[in-house]
Amino acid sequence: MGIPWRRLLVVTGLLLLLTFLLLQSRSPDVGLRERIYETLHVFEVHDAELNRDVLLARAGLLPHYDSLSEATDGLYGALHGLESWNETASEEFSAAIGGHVTDLSRAVREKETLLEYFKADNALLRNSLTYFLHTGHLLSTQTVVNNRAVAAAIGTLSNAMLRFVRTPQRAVSNEIRTALNQMTGANLLQHDLHILVLHGHLIVDVLPEVDDLLRQLLAAPTTTRVRALRDASLQYYGQMEARAQTYRILLYLVAVVLLAYLVYLFNRLRANARDLGRANTRLRREIDERTRLEEKAREQELQLIQANKMTALGTLVAGVAHEINNPNNLTMMNARVLAEAWGDAQYILENYHDENGEFLIGGLPYAEMRETVPALIRDMHVGAQRIERIVNSLKDFARPRQQAVQATLQVNEAVQRALNLLRHRIAKTIDFQVELAEGLPPLQGDMQQIEQVVVNLITNALEALPEEGGQVTVSTRYNQDDHDIEIDVRDTGIGIPQQNVERLCDPFFTTKQEQGGTGLGLAITYTLVRDHGGNLVFESTPGEGTRARVTLPCPAESPVPAPQALQV
Amino acid sequence: MTVWAIGKSVVVRIALAVMALHLACAGTALNAETPLPSAGAWDSEPIVPIPLSTDLDAGQVALGEKLFHDPRLSRNNAFSCATCHRLNQGGGDGVSRPPTLTGGLHLRNTPTVFNVALNSRFHWDGGFRTLEAEAEAAIHDPAIMNSDWADVLPKLQADADYVSTFNTAYPGGLTRANVLHALASFQRSLNTPNSRFDQYLRGDADALSDDEKQGYDLFKAFGCAACHQGVNVGGNMFQRFGIFRNQNRPHEDEDAGRFSVTGAERDRQVFRVPSLRNVAVTAPYYHDGRVQSLETAVDLMATRQLGRPLYPEEIELIVQFLHTLTGEYQGQLLALPDEDGS
């Protein structure tokens, strides 16, 4: 299975989408918004100051114009802040706000132009008013003496001017102009009169202009522009926030989808892992089974080889035994006859010896032979007997066993009988233990053969023990797993080297040649066990001891003993 | 002390009664008994003293001073700012119109750079709102520095001293913006506080002589202070030069003034009302430097801007007052190098 590209693509895609949504769902720059509001506030404050100071200036209560310049600078400062943010901000921001900033900027410039005109005109107006009123008064007091008409004209003019200053009306301004023109015509020689006329004209010209400028200034669209800008940014940020909100919801949804997909993948993974685990266990079980079967097969093969070996040997032995036995019987019989013959002949020979002295018999002096010949005959007899025993054993081993007596038997009983047989051979110094399990299932088989098996094994064990002491344990038990009965014979003897353990059951294999072992005992035992469908296995640790285990299968229908019955 | 009766034997006292009636209308109240401004009461005065200190970065100011005197700001290293704006010449050049790099004469008189930062707009026509913009224009103006940044910056950057001082004075090091800022900083440091008149405004009644005080009173009473007002005694508004024109003598001026900036008809022959601070050391006068003596300048003002010719005594008093507007730069009263004659 290669890399799961499709799934990888889906997850990567979802992650990319998440990142995109995350970026989009950020709240609009609140800092910038705050700065804009702050700046607009500052702008409004300066604008208000400007309007206030313009009014103060018109009323003659502003000693100088510096505060107006400061207020204008304040407006420009705020404006520059807005303009620079507009330049650096996002396109969307510029699209939403930029136009309003431009509008505001234009409004400020227009207002500044108006302001400059107002400052200039207002200064002139202030001066001219001062001059007019002052000169007018001077003239009226001066001319009282010389010219009544002029004095009256000045009085009317001053009166009109006062009215005009209070409320500038076109009618009044016309009235003043006419009066001024009359004076110009009258007598301009008089210096002060000239001043009066000059400033009178200026007032009439400029005062309405100043008031007009004042009105324009106060009505300048800066306030509306600021409001529009604030509304626009409010709307912009509202929209941005709403959009961010939408993206946030989308973000949430995509996150949920991603999560669901991951959970789905995880579950699949887990299912796969479970399947894999199951397949694994099955596989392992199969492998175990197979190794077990293989082992069994090998065991069976070994057993088969062993059995074949036995059979071949048995056939051979059966044939040879007879051929040996006959001559051997002859030898034995002849040896007995010879012994009797020597006994009879000895009497004669004795006499002869006494009479004739020493003589040779069989190439040796009689005095010597007298002792030796009976021993020789005895040896002959003994040798023949030994041959007979071996041949009998061989016959025993090779005897074509009639199908064993298939009786139901209790293993423990067979063991007891074997123990009875051997009782006298078990030395007192030996620690002999018997542990028989109760309630063993009965077996089908030949009691005598089982008994012989146990006897052979115990005999072997006893022979393995050292001169003094040692322990032999005989035990039986039921093996639930394989449904068979085990008979163990353990000794704490010298043990058997590993290479010999495998050959123990081979015929003629013996380590006790000197003690007269034939090497057939265990071979026979093995054959007997095999005949019962069982097995015989040795385990040994040199120097510690050996355990022989006989396993005898229980018949399939035999009742399984209750567990507690297993306890010994 | 009477204000109005100085020239002719004009009866002033009666006039004052009338004036009192219309005080609300009068920008500058004419009061025979003009009280001395009490300490801290200069709020109601049309003129405000110059702050005694500025809070500028000394390193930037020093850098600006160096730049201001550095001819490398011009092409071929012909001019420095100080070529025309000489600090020992009242911050100007002492000539009516400075010669240009191209050989002619500049259109207008060089304004002083002293107290320049106290002006609300720069140049005679108010064409610039910030000192930085003005300096940028001066560097590019073919008649002034005739240069550009591609010429100036490499020259400055070749100077290791500049590079290191800029690096210590500005985070950004030697850049166009920082050069302009340094120049502006230096010019902002060129205030001349502590003139005798400012001392008077601050409450020192003895800082002015009686004549000078009378001159101030006339300055206010005649309405000079309607235009020349504020901390810089001008510099914060525009006015036509020649409000009351002599019908027989049409305006001889070629210079359209503020019209060249706004294009508005009403701005023809309109100029920035100049600051009268240090006016005694900034001759010649007016936008084209047409007048050499202060007396003439005042005289011309009265006829043209006020429509009322002054008597020589009045002029004298006003000029005396104008002399008290000379302030200190670095603790030294501004003076012309060869002032013995004037």
Bigger pLDDT: B174 vs B251: B174
Burial of B129 (0-12, 13-18, 19+ CB in 10 A): middle
Cβ partners under 8 Å of residue B330, min gap 6: none
Whole-model pTM: value is 0.68
pLDDT digit string, tens, across residues A499-530: 888 778 777 777 766 666 667 778 888 888 88
* Confidence (pLDDT) at A506: 76
Asked if residue B7 is part of any domain, the answer here is no
What percentage of chain A has pLDDT greater than the value 90?
A: 32
Quote the CA–CA distance of A285 and A290 in Å, as a whole number: 8
- What residues of chain B lie within 8 A of the CB of A205, using their CB? none
Average pLDDT over every residue of B30-38? 39
Q: B240 and B282 share a domain? A: yes
Residue A543 pLDDT exceeds 90? no
B310 and B267 in a common domain: yes
Report yes or no on B212 lying in a domain.
yes
From A59, A137, A165, residue closest to B15, measured CB to CB: A137
Residues B239, B284 within the same domain: yes
Query: Within this chain, do residues B108 and B201 fall inside the same structural domain, yes or no?
Result: no
Q: Say whether both B233 and B297 belong to one domain.
A: yes
For residue A563, pLDDT over 60 is answered with no
Please count the other Cβ atoms lying within 10 Å of the Cβ belonging to residue A158. Answer: 22
> How many separate domains does chain B show?
2
Q: What gap in Å lies between CA A124 and CA A113, rounded to an integer? A: 17
CA distance B256 to B269: 5
Query: Does residue B236 share a domain with residue B142?
Result: no
Cα nearest neighbour of B226 on chain A? A123
Cβ contact (<8 Å) for B45 and A72? no
Contact between A113 and B44 using a beta-carbon 8 Å cutoff: no
Task: Give mean pLDDT, residues A344-348.
Answer: 86
Nearest-CB residue to B15 (from A138, A165, A202): A138
Same domain, B131 and B241: no
B223 and A126 in contact by Cβ < 8 A? yes
Judge whether residue A20 has pLDDT over 60. Answer: yes
Residue where one domain finishes, among candidates B143, B159, B188: B188
- What's the pLDDT tens digit per position in A89-120? 888 888 888 899 999 999 999 999 999 999 99
Tell which of A53, A65, A197 to mutate to test the B interface (max B CBs under 10 Å).
A65
Residues with Cβ within 8 Å of A113's Cβ and at least 6 positions away in sequence, in order, are B262, B264
Whether B137 and B259 map to the same domain: the answer is no
CA dihedral A136, A137, A140, A142 (to 10 degrees): -110
Chain B residues touching residue A124 (CB < 8 angstroms): 226, 239, 243
CB contact under 8 A, B26 and A129: yes
CB contact under 8 A, B226 and A131: no
Beta strand extents in A33-173 (DSSP E only)? none
Label the pairing between strands A484-491 and B238-240: unpaired
CB atoms within 10 A of CB A503: 12
Q: What is the mean pLDDT of residues B277-301?
A: 94
Considering the domain architecture, whether residues B178 and B266 belong to the same structural domain is answered as: no
Q: Retrieve residue A393's tokens.
A: 């054993």
Locus of tokens 């060869």: B338
Judged by average pLDDT, the poorest of A321-330, B186-195, B256-265 is A321-330
Q: Which residues sit opposite B202 in a β-bridge?
A: none
Of A434, A439, A395, the C-alpha closest to A415 is A434
The pLDDT of residue A317 is above 90? no
Closest CA relative to residue A75, chosen from A42, A97, A52 = A42
Mean pLDDT of B137-147: 92
pLDDT score at B26: 35
Q: Which of B50, B49, B10 is nearest to B30 (CA)?
A: B10
CATH assignment at residue B243? 1.10.760.10
Q: How far apart are CA A519 and CA A79, in angstroms?
A: 123
* First-residue to last-residue Cα distance in chain A: 58
Minimum CA–CA partner of B305 in chain A: A124
* Lowest mean pLDDT, pick from A313-322, B1-10, B193-202: B1-10
Cα–Cα distance, A511 to A463 (Å, whole number): 11
May I ask the CATH architecture of the domain A403-553? 2-Layer Sandwich (3.30)
- Give pLDDT, residue B177: 95
Contacts of residue B237 in chain A, CB cutoff 8 Å? 65, 116, 119-120, 123
Q: Residue B223 and residue A119: Cβ atoms within 8 Å?
A: no
Lowest-pLDDT range of A272-281, A418-427, B278-287, B294-303 = A418-427
Separation in Å, CA B14 to CA A75, A158, B10, B237, B309: 46, 16, 10, 34, 22
How many angstroms separate the CA atoms of B58 and B43, rounded? 31
Question: Binning pLDDT at 50, 70 and 90, where does residue A397 land?
Answer: low
Q: Which of B156, B188, B220 is the last residue of a domain?
A: B188
pLDDT band per the 50, 70, 90 thresholds, residue B29 = very low
Same domain, B242 and B151: no
For residue A133 the two structure tokens come to 């009123």
Q: What is the pLDDT of residue A185?
A: 60
Under an 8 A CB cutoff, do A59 and B24 touch?
yes
Q: Flag whether pLDDT at B252 surpasses 80.
A: no
Q: Is residue B22 part of a domain?
A: no
Question: Would B21 be classed as within a structural domain?
Answer: no
Say what the pLDDT of residue A1 is. 55
For chain A, give the percent of residues with pLDDT over 70: 90
The stretch B82-91 carries a mean pLDDT of 93
Residue among B11, B229, B238 whose CB faces A64 most closely = B229
Backbone angles phi, psi at A539, to 5 degrees: -130, 135
- Distance between A129 CA and the closest CA of chain B, angstroms: 7
What gap in Å lies between CA A40 and CA A35, rounded to an integer? 8
User: What are the chain A neighbours of B49 within 8 Å (beta carbons)?
Assistant: none
Mean pLDDT of B89-93: 92
Q: Search chain A and give the residue with CA nearest B19.
A: A134
Over 50: is that where the pLDDT of B88 sits?
yes
A→B contacts (Cβ < 8 Å), by residue, are: 59-60, 63-66, 68-69, 72-73, 76, 113, 116-117, 119-120, 123-124, 126-127, 129-131, 133-134, 136-138, 141, 162, 165, 195, 198-199, 202
ipTM confidence: 0.87
Chain A residues touching B238 at Cβ < 8 A: 116, 119-120
**Phi/psi at B135 (nearest 5 deg)?**
-65, -40
Q: Per-residue pLDDT for B19 more than 60?
A: no
Residue B114's domain spans which residues? 58-188
Cα-flanking dihedrals φ and ψ of residue B46, to 5°? Answer: -70, -15
Domain ranges for chain A, please list them: 30-220, 233-395, 403-553
Nearest residue, CB atoms, A133 vs list B4, B19, B236: B19
Spell out which residues of chain A touch residue B239, defining contact as CB-CB under 8 Å. 120, 123-124
Look at A129 and B28 and tell me if their CB atoms are within 8 Å. Answer: no
Give me the residue from A131, A141, A199 closest to B11, CB to CB.
A141
- Please state the rounded mean pLDDT for residues A129-142: 85
Q: Which of B188, B206, B228 is the last residue of a domain?
A: B188
